Structure 1
Amino acid sequence: MIHRILPHATACIAGDAIILLDVRQDRYFRVPSQSVELMAAWLRDRHTSPPPAVEQLLRANGIARTGDPEYSHAVGETVRIPTDLLSPCWRTAEADARYSSVATAVASTWLSLRLRALQPVLTDHAHVTSPRRPIDSRYLNDRCATFARSRPYSPFPRNCLLDTLSLDRWLGEDARDCRIVFGVTAAPFTAHCWLQSPHTVLNDSYDHVSRYTPILTA
């Protein structure tokens, strides 16, 4: 369950830990063990205002600041990770003349991440379910295969954030029903992100991403 406590901050319970993601500060924050029970009770009970100790914790770490809107952690979202596998076209699609367009998408995304905070970058990439006819899954898989086979021709090192945002950018309107998902593990702490359609994880495997507890979608 993802709890959005502020427009820029979400929380999830991962095992015995509570992890926060603050996209305004581009950072993850693990709630200290002595505050986990109090924070969990606040999220569970869905009161608008946090207990004073939780409020102090959020402000001390810059997650909540003067002028921020009211807390909205009552808005919870459950994210389902699709289990369908990519079709065989993942292995056979040709990465023809699209090498240059993929390289452009990766370069522009890399530059955007270097110059801007994560929050406005994600705002640019936000998708909502479209009333238009869903994209055919085989066509979408074919496009993702083209991206994957073209990606090595871009000089920027791979990482999940850059590659996920680049794929989303390159797909453009074809990604209108897709979601960028951020996930975390608590012990040890790791963070990951991926792009998924309603039916398929597009740039990773279910076995890998299912290890993570979703903390944010865009």
Structure 2
Amino acid sequence: MHNQQGAPKGAPLLRSGAKLRLHGDLSYCRVDDYLVFLDIQNDRYFRLTGYLESALVTYLNDGDAQDSSIRKLIERKILINEPIDADCIALSSTEIPTCSAMEGGVHAKRVNVGELLDTFIIVCSIHRQLKTHSLKRILRNLASLRERRTSQSSMSRPSEARVLEVAAAFRSARLYVPVDTCCLLDSIAMVKFLAKRELHAELVFGVTGTPFSAHSWVQHGTTVLNDVLGHTSTFTPIRVI
């Protein structure tokens, strides 16, 4: 596969045995009979035109599509013929949520000074990073921290009650941080708060179709930790960290 700009027209797209793959920074889901893409490097959601979407689906499913369409997908860096980037954040899946910690009657014990200070530092730090760093870099750092900290407790799996208790502590402490609430900011901050206490949780990105809307939340198993179930159920997951 020639993945270089300026390749001569009519040059073969596929070398013998070559195989294209979806760019590692991209993920997608189908909503309302069309695909929505999330690009974490460029911090954006987007759609493809009908014929390019059809060509992409055909190629990913069957390994075949018209050369002209494939060429455009390569030019737009949707499909690439490169080794997997070492910085690429592996996609994961999540279970369909069945309950919400906010609706389950789990309330935090009195928040201590340490939890208040840690929440303040984490939220302010993530708030600054969202203005200065790419989403990819933020998510890569978050996943790395979570892997380091939660692997330490892999032999003694924390109880569901412990996860719910710490998540409730974060929600309570967050009320005292003078930064406007935002689903992405607060979800990244909660995952980090939990990870620092050796507790694993997933950051879920979801979208709706028409009208388009994007949302993110934190999930542990089938439990949503920072939103109500009725709200998250209206979104289709597009990427899980």
What TM-score do the two structures reach when normalised by structure 1? 0.81
Q: Which residue of 2 aligns with 1:56?
A: 72
- CA drift of 1:9 comes to 1.0
Alignment of 1:119-130 (within 5 A): 119-126=136-143, 127=146, 130=151
Aligned to 2:122: 105
C-alpha separation in 1, matches of 2:212 and 2:39: 16
Q: Is the 8 A contact 1:107 1:156 kept in 2?
A: yes
Deviations 1:16-69 (A, max 9, x none): 110111111111111223433333333433x39995414414533x5567x854
Alpha carbons 2:163, 2:199 under 8 Å: kept? no
Match of 2:56 among 39, 61, 67: 39
Structure 2 CA distance for aligned equivalents of residues 44 and 206 of structure 1:
33
2:173 alignment partner in structure 1 = 150
CA drift at 1:78: 4.8
- Residue 203 of structure 1 aligns to which amino acid in structure 2? N
Pair 1:150–1:58, CA change in 2 (3 A): farther
Q: 1:195, CA displacement in angstroms?
A: 0.9
Contact 2:58/2:65 (8 A) holds in 1: no
Looking at structure 1, the residues matched to 112 and 71 of structure 2 have their Cα atoms a distance apart, in angstroms, of 54
Residues 54 and 21 (structure 1), Cα distance of their counterparts in 2 relative to 1, 3 Å cut = farther
Percent pairwise identity: 27
Q: Which residue of 1 aligns with 2:111?
A: 95
Please state if 1:185 is matched with 2:208: yes
Contact 1:135/1:174 (8 A) holds in 2: no
Cα distance in structure 2, aligned partners of 1:51 and 1:213: 31
Q: Greater Rg, structure 1 or structure 2?
A: 2
- Relative to structure 1, the CA distance from residue 56 to residue 84 in structure 2 (aligned partners, 3 Å threshold; closer, same or farther) is same
Decide whether the 8 Å contact of 2:91 with 2:240 is kept in 1: no
1:202 and 2:225 correspond: yes
Match of 1:137 in 2: 160
2:192 matches 1:169: yes
Q: Which residue matches 1:83? A: 98
The aligned residue for residue 160 of structure 1 is 183
CA distance in structure 1 between the partners assigned to 2:65 and 2:116 by the alignment: 51
Q: Which 10-residue stretch deviates more, 158-167 or 34-43?
A: 34-43
Residue 70 of structure 1, CA deviation? 6.5
- CA contact under 8 A between 2:22 and 2:78: conserved in structure 1? no
Q: Is the 8 A contact 1:161 1:192 kept in 2?
A: yes
Following the alignment from structure 1 to structure 2, what is the Cα–Cα distance between the partners of residues 167 and 211? Answer: 22
SS state at 1:89 partner: coil
Contact kept in structure 1, 2:28 and 2:35, CA below 8 Å: yes
Q: Alpha carbons of 1:94 and 1:27: their partners in 2 closer, same or farther (altered >3 Å)?
A: same
**Aligned-partner residue type, residue 32 of structure 1:** T
The answer to whether the Cα contact below 8 Å between 1:89 and 1:141 also exists between their aligned partners in 2 is yes
Report the equivalent of 1:215: 238
Post-superposition shift, 1:138? 1.3
Aligned residues: 208
Q: Is the 8 A contact 2:205 2:216 kept in 1?
A: yes
Kept in 2: contact 1:42–1:51 (CA 8 A): no
Q: 2:33 aligns with which of 13, 16, 26?
A: 16
> Within the alignment, does 1:27 sit opposite 2:44 as a pair?
yes
CA distance in 1, matches of 2:173, 2:134: 27
Query: Paired residue for 2:7?
Result: none
Partner of 1:5: 22
Structure 1: any 5+ residue segments left out of the alignment? none
CA-atom RMSD, angstroms?
2.9
TM-score computed with the length of structure 2 as normaliser:
0.74
